[in-house]
Structure 1
Amino acid sequence: MARKKEIGRDKILNIAYKMIIRDGVESLTARNIAKEGHFSTQPLYLEFSSMDELKEEVLDKIAENLQDNVLQKEYTGQPLIDMDLSYIDYAQKHQNLFRATFVDGKLGSKRISNMLIDLGVKKFNDQYQDTDYSEEKIVNIVVANWITTIGIASLLVNEIATFSRTQVINVLTAQINDAILNDWLSKSKKIPLFDVKDYKKQRKSINA
């Protein structure tokens, strides 16, 4: 009878996930994961072909947690605004992860950025049910909204500025209204983080 693996893939992923949330991406080395889990590095390399593969799967767990739990909190009863506020609170609570993903670029963020657009589109449609905007316009509004949200989070996390919750809500509301009226992103060719063209290609491949 084959022996049951004591150190499996899920256990390693859970350890790595907790480490990156707590200590940031720099902590995610094979040696540190093994030390945290009280095992050798051998099980890690048996389960994953490389550290890059492990990091990609950790990134998937982060994106899933953001989508299903973190960004589902209610503050104002306005789904899109509530999503923004949830993200800002999360960024302040998990500053190492926020910086690694959206500031320092140490952790690949395309998976997360596409998830943020997907969720933002859903929240926009929940908040603005009586509109008939095209999908392209809604995506542009959501991308503009995320640029503002991440900008506010960066200012707060880096202690460059302080805002009351009311001020943050007012800025976000004004930005959304401006994006609805002006749709300035439709005139832009590319935004490195939220690449709308890349996003659309990925959505088409998923829906094909």
Structure 2
Amino acid sequence: MPAVRKVSKEQIIDAAVEVLRDDGFSAINARSVAKKLGCSTQPIYFSFKNMDELKAALTQRAIELHTQRVRDSLCAHEGSDSRYSSYGMGFVKFAAEEKQLFRWLYLEGEQPGAYQSDVLMQEVIGVIVDEFGYAEDVARRFHQDMIYFTYGLAILANTDHLHLTETELREAFRREFRALIAIYGKPAKLPEFAVKAGVAL
């Protein structure tokens, strides 16, 4: 018998991500992943007990990719925008640019233990407290309401029904922020960039 090609666990997960990106979650199976790797299915079952285990690893990788995309957005706008609005923009851009990964995590995923948590929840709550001076319990409720708005934009972007420029998207988040201020009260402080520039959030 020919020797089984050595394929690492990371390579298998990478291949599964590519299958997901190309063809969606329904295409994830041992044969499609093996074809992407250019090998038989044997290496997959050497590294993973079954497809559920591989799908769980795929879910974790998708979460990591999503988290990194949001963190990149936070860093990209640091000093020139609210970190909190940058979080929302990163979320929507991920939905638009990584359509299948977003659907896997939030819309159609059939992975074991569907992922339903907000990315970077505690970090984002901390940003609201730090940037705007809200108490943590208020920040949590404020963010929960903002999530409904953000998910709506993300789903529209994911399904190609949202066509906003970056400036228009940022302004949409600012309008929603102002609407929520009417409910939760004026923030005790504004980000330093907003104070200097006289930006109305």
Does the pair score TM above 0.5? yes
For the pair 1:48 / 2:52, whether they are aligned, the reply is no
- Coordinate RMSD, CA, aligned: 2.7
Distance 1:172 1:69 in 2: 18
Show structure 1 runs of 5+ residues with no match.
184-208
2:98 alignment partner in structure 1: 94
63-72 or 142-151: bigger deviation: 63-72
Distance 1:5 1:127 in 2: 52
1:137 alignment partner in structure 2: 138
Distance 1:100 1:150 in 2: 14
CA deviations 1:120-155 (Å, max 9, x no partner) are 224324532xx1413x32222222222211211222
Alignment length, in residue pairs?
176
Q: Find the structure with the greater CA-based Rg.
A: 2
Aligned-pair CA distance for 1:29: 0.8
Contact map agreement 2:5 2:39 (CA 8 A) in 1: no
Aligned-pair CA distance for 1:32: 0.3
SS in 1 for 2:153: helix
Aligned equivalent of 1:81, options 64, 80, 85: 85
TM-score normalised to the size of structure 1?
0.71
Show structure 2 runs of 5+ residues with no match.
185-201
40-49 or 164-173: bigger deviation: 164-173
State the identity as a percent. Answer: 20
Listed as ranges, the matches of 1:115-154 within 5 Å are 115-128=119-132, 131-134=133-136, 136-154=137-155
SS in 2 for 1:163: coil
Which AA in structure 2 matches 1:152? L
Q: Find runs of 4+ consecutive structure 1 residues off by over 4 angstroms.
A: none
Contact map agreement 1:72 1:83 (CA 8 A) in 2: no
Contact map agreement 1:30 1:44 (CA 8 A) in 2: yes
Query: Does the C-alpha gap of structure 1 residues 5 and 125 become closer, same or farther in structure 2, counting only changes over 3 Å?
Result: farther
CA deviations 1:100-131 (Å, max 9, x no partner) are 33233445222xx2434234224324532xx1
Which AA in structure 2 matches 1:11? Q
Contact map agreement 2:16 2:58 (CA 8 A) in 1: yes
SS in 1 for 2:119: helix
1:32 alignment partner in structure 2: 32
Distance 1:8 1:159 in 2: 36
Distance 1:123 1:25 in 2: 33
